[in-house]
């Protein structure tokens, strides 16, 4: 079994993340919704934890040719926002996995709330050691999460293993560039639990190394530079809730780390990429 050296740190990071199940439910109630039953059309405005909201889900789905005949694996699914959206809008069966148990518990409850439990199911698991037989899935997606997973070669190997021949793998991730300094990588590891970040060249290399055809790579840096400024503002708008739940010091630490992260897209030390490959 592949161990994750930083597992506790990543789980702790997501257990104390400003976007969480309670915060989503509170915001829904504040906006006048009855959280006993909220449709996915409403929930999708609150539950996505990646850049670009549901449009980014559609971009991956279109690239991968997702339809209702597919069994989709959402790797590092968080609270299941993309899984639910893709299940509802493409009619596919979805399995989501995530390392953080609180994320999986939240994903399961939010999915029951939206009445999508027959289509979308969730399991706590490590992306480096997927608990599925080989050739299980037609399509695999992931968004802004591989950055936390060490050993990208093992990660891609696992992803390819569980895909059927001809299956598609479509994902977006935070990337290093030739400008990224070693002290930047160390700080990102320390403050945001990013580990051994991939690059625009390393992902295609890893995919081809596993026998995949790389069909598309897209540089999302310009797009994300704008989105991330808004995202920092969104986190700042959650200041009171974050302090209530996790304390003042946590909010300050988070704000320092996230502003630093956003600034790295301005300086070109970080980039964003979207990849499509076929097994
Ligand atoms: C930024 S969130 C993305 C959530 C989701 N993809 C979305 O778009 O809403 C990153 C997620 O990756 C998960 N994660 C980090 N390392 C992981 C690993 N080794 N295996 C599975 N999940 C992991 C975290 O627990 C977290 O929920």
Is 110 close to ligand 1, i.e. is its CB under 6 Å away? no
Report which of 241, 54, 76 is spatially closest to residue 144, judged by C-alpha positions: 76
Residue with CA at minimum distance from ligand 1 atom 25: 100
The confidence score (pLDDT) of residue 156 equals 98
Task: Check residue 5 and give its pLDDT.
Answer: 60
The token duo for 171 is 């994902």
Sign of the CA dihedral 179, 181, 184, 190? positive
DSSP secondary structure code for residue 70 in this structure = P
The pLDDT, as a whole number, for residue 264 is 98
Q: Please give the chain's pLDDT, 279 residues, in tens.
A: 556 666 788 998 999 888 899 999 999 999 999 998 899 999 999 999 999 999 999 999 999 999 999 999 999 999 999 999 999 999 999 999 999 999 999 999 999 999 999 999 999 999 999 999 999 999 999 999 999 999 999 999 999 999 999 999 999 999 999 999 999 999 999 999 999 999 999 999 999 999 999 999 999 999 999 999 999 998 999 899 899 889 999 899 999 999 999 999 999 999 999 999 999
Contact between residue 171 and residue 197 where contact means Cβ atoms under 8 Å apart: no
The pTM of this model reads: 0.95
Determine the Cα–Cα distance for residues 169 and 27; give it in Å rounded to an integer. Answer: 33
Tell me, in angstroms, the distance from the centre of ligand 1 to residue 12's CA: 12
Cβ proximity of 138 and 86 under 8 Å: no
Residue of the CA atom closest to atom 10 of ligand 1: 145
Question: Is the domain defined by 7-174+197-221+272-278 classed in CATH 3.40.50.150?
Answer: yes
Atom of ligand 1 nearest to the CA of 100: 25
Distance (Å, whole) CA 192 – CA 87? 30
Show the tokens assigned to 126: 């490590």
At 141 the three-state DSSP class reads strand
Burial (0-12, 13-18, 19+ Cβ within 10 Å), 204: middle
Q: Which of 76, 79, 153, 224 to mutate to test the pocket of ligand 1 (most atoms within 8 A of CB)?
A: 76
Q: Look at residues 150, 278, 169 and name the one whose alpha carbon lies nearest to residue 213.
A: 278
Counted residue by residue, the chain has a size of 279
pLDDT of residue 245: 87
Q: What residue has token string 């190997």?
A: 157
pLDDT at site 140: 98
Question: Is the Cβ atom of 148 under 6 angstroms away from ligand 1?
Answer: yes
- DSSP, residue by residue, 223-245: HHHHHHHHHHHHHHHTHHHHHHH
How many angstroms does the Cα of residue 204 sit away from the middle of ligand 1? 21
Q: Is 107 in the pocket of ligand 1 (CB under 6 A)?
A: no
């Amino acid at each position: 079994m592949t161990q994750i050296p930083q597992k506790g740190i990543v789980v702790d990071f997501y257990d104390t993340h400003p976007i969480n199940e309670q915060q989503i439910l509170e915001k829904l109630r504040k906006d006048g919704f009855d959280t006993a039953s909220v449709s996915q059309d409403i929930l999708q405005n609150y539950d996505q934890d990646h850049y670009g909201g549901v449009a980014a889900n559609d971009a991956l789905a279109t690239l991968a040719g997702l339809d209702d005949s597919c069994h989709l694996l959402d790797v590092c699914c968080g609270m299941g926002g993309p899984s639910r959206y893709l299940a509802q809008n493409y009619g596919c069966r979805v399995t989501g996995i995530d390392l953080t148990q609180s994320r999986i518990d939240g994903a399961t409850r939010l999915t029951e709330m939206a009445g999508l439990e027959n289509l979308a199911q969730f399991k706590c698991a490590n992306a480096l050691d997927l608990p599925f037989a080989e050739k299980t899935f037609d399509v695999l997606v992931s968004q802004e999460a591989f950055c936390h997973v060490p050993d990208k070669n093992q990660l891609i190997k696992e992803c390819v293993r569980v895909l059927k021949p001809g299956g598609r793998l479509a994902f977006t991730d935070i990337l290093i560039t030739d400008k990224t300094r070693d002290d930047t990588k160390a700080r990102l590891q320390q403050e945001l639990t990013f580990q051994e970040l991939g690059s625009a060249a390393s992902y295609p290399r890893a995919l081809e190394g596993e026998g995949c055809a790389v069909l598309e790579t897209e540089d999302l840096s310009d797009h994300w530079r704008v989105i991330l400024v808004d995202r920092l503002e969104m986190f700042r708008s959650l200041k009171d809730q974050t302090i209530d739940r996790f304390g003042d010091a946590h909010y300050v630490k988070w704000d320092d780390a996230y502003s630093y992260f956003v600034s790295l897209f301005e300086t070109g030390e970080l980039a964003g990429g979207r990849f499509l490959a076929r097994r």
